[in-house]
Structure 1
Amino acid sequence: SLLAYDVAIVGAGVMGLNIAFQLKRRAPEMKVIVFEQANQLGIGSSGYTTGFCRAFYSLDDTMKFALQGIKAFQNFNEYVEAPSEVKYWKTGALWMMGKTRHENMIMQQRLEAFGVQSEVLDRREASDRFPLMNF
């Protein structure tokens, strides 16, 4: 019976499963049920957006949340307090940013203020580093 549960969550995607995880983490005695229409977890739209973490966002609070998420993925087994096959690879990212070098330098300073390693490349440097791309 559904009355036996304290919380019912519809959708076993990234958000639904995380909500269930966080509820149980904070209140282990809470009875949580997750409903999913598919025969697999995390295969909906949110499942297709996972697989990478990024640290650059326009709002400072969003960057702080993103960096907390990256830290959780880097230490995933400790975070979920269970063994897992989840692996974290630091790969980096290439962003096409501001129109001027000055704008890019401001963005770089902002990233570095949050502890995110970054560098600004001009067109030639980007072409040398990523020869298969057209800058």
Structure 2
Amino acid sequence: MHQHLVICGHGDKNGFVFGEYCEGIDTSRLVDGSLPPSVVAEHARLDGKIVLSTCCETGGKAYGDAFVGTGGAALYVAPDGSPEGADAPLFVHCFYHALLARQQPPEAALEHARSYDEAASMFVGHWPAS
């Protein structure tokens, strides 16, 4: 069973950007075309998985609470800002290289990836409350 979920896409002040849909698709839970953290909290069931988002503006406390607090993720990592296009995949590579290839614990892998440069430092981690 997989232990990781990587969400690649775009984000804005309202959440994960979903774009346009064909007629007949229910978009009633989207806010101006974006998925807010309240909907994630209502539906996510992540059973201890590590979730990493590359979407702009999805690293705030509301998303951390939705994925970890309510959704049950072991760790949620996302940018608390807007990374440039090439910065997000570089962060993902550094994080997963440290986590999987070097077998570092998630906390150490996150700090390693965040230390790469200033752009990488905008990625933040949310863990369950102790």
TM-score (norm 2): 0.23
Structure with greater proportional strand content: 2
TM-score (norm 1): 0.23
